[in-house]
Amino acid sequence: MALIVQKYGGTSVGNLDRIRLVAKKVSEARARGDDVVVVISAMAGETDRLIGLANQLSPSPMERDMDLLMSSGERVSAALVAIALNAMGTPAMSFTGRQIGMITDSVHMKARIRKITGEKVRAALAEGKVAVVAGFQGVDEATGSVTTLGRGGSDTSAVAIAVAMKADKCEIYTDVDGVYTTDPNIVPNARRIDVISFDEMLEMASLGAKVLQVRSVEFGKKYNMPIYVKSTFMDVGGTLVTQEMSQMEEVVVSAVAFARDQAKITLLGVPDKPGVAARIFTAVAAKEVNVDVIIKNVSDKGLTDISFTVPKVEVRQTLEALKPVALEIHARDVTHDENIGKVSIVGVGMKSHSGVAAKAFEALAAGGINIMMISTSEIKVSCVVAGDEVNRAVRILHDAFELALPAGQRKSMGGK
């Protein structure tokens, strides 16, 4: 008898018929003899509705209050799924984050999991019940306050619970049938990827492919918990996210990811001397802002420009954090540009293949696309481009690396 953790996203529990469908799928898994822990997101649109209410009342609500507010959505849907399961004759019990012992740090709205005690879940399973857990939420042990794990946090809840419960597998059910070589809305002949490594998925998630929250993949990688991404509405397909395997090496580039949620901040006329960059990024980090791509221009008469990208929603905080620093280091000006996008190619095969970045830059240049910033890692090349050129850049790169073809049939750079 295996233990399976299944997570269902907001669209999968978006209305009562879909909640019944989720209950049916869970009942079927249970009927196959497995123990099942179900992790549930808020009904589609609910979290945004709650945030909308708060934002109408306050431009800057306290994050502790926001967490209490937002965590309600998952509680409602977990209770409803448990009610639907019991109505179907599948014994089930609903749990909040606190009740499963999901202990986090004190950083509201993006808390990190410290541990999961899980006694009540184990007790429910031992009684033959399905445990239905409200995702996205935990409790700050020090203060007893409700915390949430950041948007998409239910994925992380699910993988962390799977690890804590020593589950055999973790299935993430969503409204798409797996991970694609890029967004099919932009490139119609994008292909579904059958198996992808944690590292590639991590790059893709952090680059804006919205299938899995990036922290859930980090958890999966750290504890080697395979994650199956599947469709709630189709029985076929799916993508397995797992450890790197030898067969993957033949694929140079696996996918093209992109993001539009970043903005570019530039400090102009900054003295080019040791400690200045540290001063800037320490101030930004103190606001818990995630800085992404950073570039420093070549120095001119002892002055330089420093640009970096941050999430658009954190521009205001970042600019505030920079104000005193800019004065202190005598920067000429601080500017920001929200009309940018980031396009990236991802693939573990890049490690052992040279020329991948060059090929990408050439393809974009041939398409007349100006690259504003570049950032690379062992398995990805990211280019920041103008916001209105993102779609075209994605198509150009998807074509250049022949991602619409099955991996074995790709000519360019394959097996080079």
Nearer residue to a second copy within complex by CB, 121 or 276: 121
**With binding defined as CB under 8 A, does residue 24 bind a second copy?**
no
Write the DSSP symbol of residue 207: T
Q: State how far the Cα of 283 lies from the Cα of 261, in Å rounded to an integer.
A: 21
Q: In which region does residue 51 sit, left (phi positive, over 0), alpha (psi from -120 to 50) or beta (all else)?
A: alpha
Q: State how far the Cα of 111 lies from the Cα of 157, in Å rounded to an integer.
A: 11
Contact pick of 41, 71, 174, 304 for a second copy (by CB under 8 A) = 71
CB of 71 to a second copy, least distance (A): 8
Structure tokens at 387: 């916001």
**With binding defined as CB under 8 A, does residue 80 bind a second copy?**
yes
* Interstrand relation of 195-197 and 294-296 (parallel, antiparallel or unpaired): unpaired
Rule CB under 8 A: which of 138-197 touch a second copy? 144-146
Contact pick of 24, 48, 64, 266 for a second copy (by CB under 8 A) = 64
* CA dist 317 → 35, 289, 307, 321 (Å): 45, 8, 16, 6
Contact pick of 78, 179, 265, 396 for a second copy (by CB under 8 A) = 78
Contact pick of 2, 87, 285, 286 for a second copy (by CB under 8 A) = 87
CB of 347 to a second copy, least distance (A): 44
Rule CB under 8 A: which of 27-56 touch a second copy? 50, 53-54, 56
Contact pick of 1, 31, 33, 59 for a second copy (by CB under 8 A) = 59
Contact pick of 72, 231, 317, 391 for a second copy (by CB under 8 A) = 72
Contact pick of 18, 98, 380, 398 for a second copy (by CB under 8 A) = 98
Burial class of residue 193 (count of CB atoms within 10 Å of its CB; 0-12, 13-18, 19+): buried
Q: State how far the Cα of 390 lies from the Cα of 182, in Å rounded to an integer.
A: 12
Q: State how far the Cα of 19 lies from the Cα of 22, in Å rounded to an integer.
A: 5
* Interstrand relation of 130-134 and 113-116 (parallel, antiparallel or unpaired): unpaired
Rule CB under 8 A: which of 101-130 touch a second copy? 120
Residues that bind a second copy (CB under 8 A): 16, 19-20, 50, 53-54, 56-59, 61-62, 64-66, 68-69, 71-73, 75-76, 78-80, 82-84, 86-87, 93-94, 96, 98-99, 120, 144-146
